[in-house]
Amino acid sequence: MNLASRLQDLCDRGKRNDAITLAKATLQNTRDVRVEVDDADVHVYTDRFEGTHGWYVNSFDEVVVEQQGEYTYREDGVELSFSTVTMNDRAHELAMLRLDGIEDEH
């Protein structure tokens, strides 16, 4: 059973929390990510997920990417939105590279 089918099956059986747990584990272990940064958010894209994390410059002039994020899984007609309190390691690494030097501008 592929991931989309498994998530749909869990949701259909009223086990949305289990579906979210599976989605989060999949997201956390995804290495193929793309990151875009705008004035307030880091946008994370994978082949199955889209997510957003805020970012800011703290009182020490350091860029901080918030670990709390909002994600949506979309594949094969399945859509599952959820919040997460962790960020994919590769996405965080790419975000910090994109944000490098931002603190100098503030």
Range of the domain at 38: 3-105
Question: Rounded to two decimals, what is the model's pTM?
Answer: 0.86
**pLDDT single digits (tens) 17-63:** 999 999 999 999 888 999 999 999 999 999 999 999 999 999 998 89
- C-alpha to C-alpha distance for 40 and 50, rounded to whole angstroms: 16
Domain total of the chain: 1
Confidence class for position 104, pLDDT limits 50, 70, 90? low
